[in-house]
Amino acid sequence: MKCLIFTLNFVLLVIFIAGCGSTRPIEEIYTPDVPGTTADTPIIDTGFTDADQIQDTSTFKICNKDEACNQLPLEDSHCYGECYNEMIYLSCEGTVVDNLCYLLTPPEKPYTKDIIDDIKITHSQIPDYVYVGDRLEIELILTNLRDEKNYLTYGFKNPDSWEIHPQNFDYEGILSFEPKEEKRLRFNANAIKPNILEHVHSYIPIITFSFNYTNYELYAKIRFDKRDEYIKCGEEYFPATYCSTQDCTGYSNYNSAVCCNSIFYPGATCCNTNDCVNGTCIDGKCIYRVPSMFLANTTLIQNNRILIIISDFPEFPESELCRDKYKELKDKLQLDLIDEYYKTIVYNRTGRKDVVNFRWEVLAGFNSDKFITNGDYTFQNFKNSLNDYINSQLKCDINFDDYDKIIIISFRMDLYGFGGMAFGLGNIGQIQYSNGYLTAHELCHSFGASDLYLDMGGSFQYATSLMGNNLGQIGFPQDRVAWGEIGLSDVNENGVIDIFEFARFPESIVIENIHAKLTQKESLEISFEPYLIERGRKMRGVFLMYHIELPEYNQIIDTPEPFIAFDQYQVDLKKIRETRKIKVRIVINYKYSDNDFKRKALNFDKTIEIDVEDQIR
Our finding on whether 494 is near Ca ion (CB under 5 A) is yes
Give the nearest distance from C-beta 68 to Ca ion in angstroms.
6
How far is residue 432's CA from residue 536's CA, in Å, rounded to a whole number? 44
Binding range to Ca ion, per CB under 5 A, among 45-53, 349-357, 370-378, 492-500: 492-500
Our finding on whether 67 is near Ca ion (CB under 5 A) is no
Our finding on whether 198 is near Ca ion (CB under 5 A) is no
Nearer to Ca ion, 387 or 492 (CB): 492
Q: Quick check: 415 and 377 in contact, CB under 8 A?
A: no
Pairing of strands 546-550, 555-559: antiparallel
Our finding on whether 496 is near Ca ion (CB under 5 A) is yes
Which residues neighbour 58 within 8 Å (Cβ) at sequence distance 6 or greater? none
Nearer to Ca ion, 350 or 464 (CB): 350
Which residues neighbour 228 within 8 Å (Cβ) at sequence distance 6 or greater? none
Nearer to Ca ion, 79 or 386 (CB): 79
- Nearest partner of 564 among 535, 584, 593, 544, judged by Cα: 584
Give the nearest distance from C-beta 69 to Ca ion in angstroms.
9
Nearer to Ca ion, 218 or 496 (CB): 496
Per-residue x/- track, 438-477, Ca ion (CB under 5 A): ----------------------------------------
Nearer to Ca ion, 241 or 494 (CB): 494
Our finding on whether 539 is near Ca ion (CB under 5 A) is no
Binding range to Ca ion, per CB under 5 A, among 294-302, 341-349, 378-386, 485-493: 485-493
Write phi, then psi, for 343 (nearest 5 degrees): -60, -40
Give the nearest distance from C-beta 282 to Ca ion in angstroms.
12
Write phi, then psi, for 196 (nearest 5 degrees): -65, -25
Residue type, 23: T
Nearer to Ca ion, 398 or 496 (CB): 496
Binding range to Ca ion, per CB under 5 A, among 207-215, 260-268, 406-414, 483-491: 483-491
Write phi, then psi, for 214 (nearest 5 degrees): -110, 135
Give the nearest distance from C-beta 491 to Ca ion in angstroms.
6
How far is residue 303's CA from residue 324's CA, in Å, rounded to a whole number? 19
DSSP codes joined into one string, 91-136: --SSEEETTEEESSPPP-PPP---EETTEEEEE----SEEETT-EE
Our finding on whether 492 is near Ca ion (CB under 5 A) is yes
Write phi, then psi, for 87 (nearest 5 degrees): -75, 115
Nearer to Ca ion, 404 or 490 (CB): 490
Nearer to Ca ion, 451 or 498 (CB): 498
Give the nearest distance from C-beta 492 to Ca ion in angstroms.
4
Binding range to Ca ion, per CB under 5 A, among 39-47, 266-274, 486-494, 569-577: 486-494
Q: Quick check: 267 and 242 in contact, CB under 8 A?
A: no
**CB burial readout 291-326, b (16+ within 10 A) else e:** bbbbbbbbbbbbbbbbbbbbbbbeebeeeebeebbb
How far is residue 93's CA from residue 125's CA, in Å, rounded to a whole number? 35
Give the nearest distance from C-beta 501 to Ca ion in angstroms.
6
- Cα–Cα distances (Å) from 579 to 55, 179, 300, 357, 553, in that order, read 52, 106, 45, 51, 14
Can you list the pairs that 236-240 forms with residues at least 24 positions away whose Cβ atoms lie under 8 Å? 236/98, 236/99, 236/196, 236/264, 238/197, 238/264, 238/266
- Axis-axis angle for helices 436-446, 335-350 (nearest 10): 50
User: Site size for Ca ion, by CB under 5 A?
Assistant: 5
DSSP codes joined into one string, 16-41: HHHHT-B--BGGG----SSPPP-TTS
Our finding on whether 479 is near Ca ion (CB under 5 A) is no
Q: Which of 82, 442, 498, 534 binds Ca ion (CB under 5 A)?
A: 498
Nearer to Ca ion, 497 or 544 (CB): 497
Nearer to Ca ion, 144 or 280 (CB): 280
Nearer to Ca ion, 492 or 559 (CB): 492
For residue 392, the 8-state DSSP code is I
Our finding on whether 86 is near Ca ion (CB under 5 A) is no
Binding range to Ca ion, per CB under 5 A, among 155-163, 165-173, 264-272, 495-503: 495-503
Give the nearest distance from C-beta 292 to Ca ion in angstroms.
13
Three state DSSP letters for 4-15: HHHHHHHHHHHH
Give the nearest distance from C-beta 76 to Ca ion in angstroms.
17
Give the nearest distance from C-beta 498 to Ca ion in angstroms.
4
Nearer to Ca ion, 103 or 496 (CB): 496
Give the nearest distance from C-beta 499 to Ca ion in angstroms.
9
Binding range to Ca ion, per CB under 5 A, among 303-311, 410-418, 489-497, 507-515: 489-497
Q: Which of 455, 490, 534, 558 binds Ca ion (CB under 5 A)?
A: 490
Region 160-189 residues binding Ca ion, contact defined as CB under 5 A: none
How far is residue 400's CA from residue 342's CA, in Å, rounded to a whole number? 24
Q: Quick check: 613 and 375 in contact, CB under 8 A?
A: no
How far is residue 244's CA from residue 254's CA, in Å, rounded to a whole number? 9
Give the nearest distance from C-beta 615 to Ca ion in angstroms.
31
Our finding on whether 485 is near Ca ion (CB under 5 A) is no
Nearer to Ca ion, 217 or 493 (CB): 493
Region 552-611 residues binding Ca ion, contact defined as CB under 5 A: none
- Nearest partner of 418 among 431, 407, 408, 428, judged by Cα: 431
Binding range to Ca ion, per CB under 5 A, among 40-48, 172-180, 203-211, 493-501: 493-501
How far is residue 194's CA from residue 132's CA, in Å, rounded to a whole number? 6
Give the nearest distance from C-beta 489 to Ca ion in angstroms.
8
Element (H, E) at 581: strand 581-593
Which spans of this chain sit near Ca ion (rule: CB under 5 A)?
490, 492, 494, 496, 498
